[in-house]
């Protein structure tokens, strides 16, 4: 997806950077005394990593988190100077470039530590590393039984000044179920790993565990820093448990390409899965499954067009879909904007699509792609950080 300042795009996502800043301030309040790391992996959850990172830092985020070194280098090249942590890289990654750019590298195995060592020696500089420990998610991260091998190796590299040891972190598997015992088990394993590091003289500068749902629901897991991802983009991962004042930052919209009459009994789109029950008017929206409008949503969602919800009818195609204007077509014309999902009054939500598709809103906002133009608004207001709002009265 290409960034653009055009306001005449046929299909676009509009990203409200003031909403990003607002959400960071809300999350800072939930975090209490803990710092906030803004997670902008996957091109800022498809919102634009550089722009989101700038807005988040201006609103008080202390650090940035990404998965790959390439993502981190992009942020450095754009002028971001705050600490940046990259935590998912294979042996092929350019660790020397990461060390040179002062990228903090998450280490999840002895082999990963050796890759960082090689990169540091190649760069001729000390690498900054953070230990990622597996406390029960069983993805990347050092499992407990490997710590006795990794910690002495890390201690030796610290003594040689090949690496600087900065932090310990882990990731929760069931944070959206705040009372599930797995969360406490992971906390205990996390504390055990920190204690093991200290036994080897590895005193972390900070430790962090909480993702978005834990930030909202488990203040006891905030430690030194929280790492909100989806919540920063205004999408609540636990809407049934906490009514956080989050504002969706993405609006997915398209301009009407055609308005036409369809006679009663005529079918619309491939397979004629929808047949007009009476004479009607339809609008053609030039966005399809090549742009992130899921084909399986055909006939199952609405857009906001002319201030009125309009149902999709017929199959969604690669490039287009159709909505029925019915008897309320007056004033709708080519070039009008149809909001597929957003955060404004009356607009469909990403969560609506997720509910219909049996998925999560993370996937929905990551879907717009291909020809979809991304446009950012609200950034001019983000010159200086703002104070965090008062802490919420309740998190349950």
CB neighbour class for 357 (10 Å; exposed up to 12, middle 13-18, buried from 19): middle
Inter-residue contact 341 to 356 (CB < 8 Å):
no
Q: Which pair of tokens denotes residue 276?
A: 């007009």
Q: Is 139 helix (H, G, I), strand (E, B) or coil?
A: coil
Active-site annotation holder among 30, 95, 198, 270 = 270
Inter-residue contact 119 to 128 (CB < 8 Å):
no
CA angle at 189 for the pair 183 and 195, rounded to the nearest 5°: 140
377 membership: H or E segment, kind and range:
strand 373-377
57 membership: H or E segment, kind and range:
helix 49-58
Active site residue 362: no
Q: Is 155 annotated as a binding residue?
A: no
CB neighbour class for 386 (10 Å; exposed up to 12, middle 13-18, buried from 19): middle
Most distant pair of Cα atoms in the chain: their distance: 80
**What is the distance between the alpha carbons of residues 41 and 25, in angstroms, rounded to a whole number?**
20
Q: List Cα–Cα distances, 170 to 82, 219, 261, in angstroms.
A: 21, 16, 57
Q: Is 318 annotated as a binding residue?
A: yes
End-to-end Cα, the chain, rounded Å: 38
Active-site annotation holder among 41, 95, 233, 289 = 41
Q: Which pair of tokens denotes residue 115?
A: 């890759």
Inter-residue contact 343 to 15 (CB < 8 Å):
no
Active site residue 270: yes
For residue 78, the 8-state DSSP code is T
DSSP β-ladder status, 11-16 and 373-377: parallel
58 membership: H or E segment, kind and range:
helix 49-58
Total Cβ atoms within 10 A of residue 396 = 8
Inter-residue contact 131 to 197 (CB < 8 Å):
yes
Q: Is 229 helix (H, G, I), strand (E, B) or coil?
A: coil
- Binding positions for substrate are 139, 318
- Binding positions are 139, 318
Supply the residues annotated as catalytic.
41, 270
């Amino acid at each position: 997806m290409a960034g653009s300042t055009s306001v005449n795009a046929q299909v676009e996502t509009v990203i409200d950077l003031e909403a990003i800043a607002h959400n960071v301030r809300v999350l800072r309040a939930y975090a209490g005394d803990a710092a906030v790391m803004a997670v902008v992996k996957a091109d800022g959850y498809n919102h634009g990593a550089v722009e989101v990172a700038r807005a988040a830092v201006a609103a008080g985020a202390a650090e940035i988190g990404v998965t790959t070194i390439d993502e981190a280098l992009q942020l450095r090249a754009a002028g971001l100077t705050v600490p940046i942590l990259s935590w998912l890289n294979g042996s092929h990654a350019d660790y020397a470039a990461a060390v040179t750019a002062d990228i903090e590298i998450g280490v999840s195995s002895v082999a990963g530590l050796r890759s960082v060592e090689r990169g540091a020696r190649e760069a001729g500089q000390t690498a900054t590393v953070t230990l990622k420990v597996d406390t029960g998610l069983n993805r990347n991260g050092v499992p407990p039984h490997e710590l006795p091998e990794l910690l002495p190796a890390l201690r030796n590299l610290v003594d040689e000044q090949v690496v600087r040891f900065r932090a310990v972190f882990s990731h929760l598997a069931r944070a959206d179920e705040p009372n599930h015992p797995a969360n406490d088990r992971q906390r205990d394993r996390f504390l055990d790993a920190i204690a093991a590091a200290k036994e080897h003289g590895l005193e972390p500068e900070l430790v962090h565990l909480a993702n978005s749902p834990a930030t909202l629901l488990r203040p006891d897991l905030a430690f030194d820093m929280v790492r909100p991802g989806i919540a920063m983009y205004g999408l609540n991962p636990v809407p049934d448990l906490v009514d956080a004042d989050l504002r969706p930052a993405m609006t997915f919209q398209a301009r009407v390409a055609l308005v036409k009459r369809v006679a009663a009994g005529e079918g619309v789109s491939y397979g004629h899965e929808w047949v007009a029950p009476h004479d009607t008017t339809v609008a053609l929206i030039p966005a399809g499954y090549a742009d992130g409008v899921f084909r399986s949503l055909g006939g199952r969602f609405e857009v906001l067009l002319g201030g009125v919800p309009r149902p999709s009818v017929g199959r969604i195609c690669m490039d287009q879909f159709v909505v029925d204007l019915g008897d309320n077509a007056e004033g709708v014309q080519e070039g009008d904007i149809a909001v597929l999902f957003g955060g404004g009054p009356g607009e469909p939500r990403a969560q609506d699509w997720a509910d219909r598709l049996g998925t999560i809103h993370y996937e929905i906002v990551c879907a717009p792609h291909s020809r979809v133009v991304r446009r950012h608004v609200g950034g001019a207001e983000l010159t200086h950080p703002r104070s965090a709002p008062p802490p919420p009265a309740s998190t349950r």
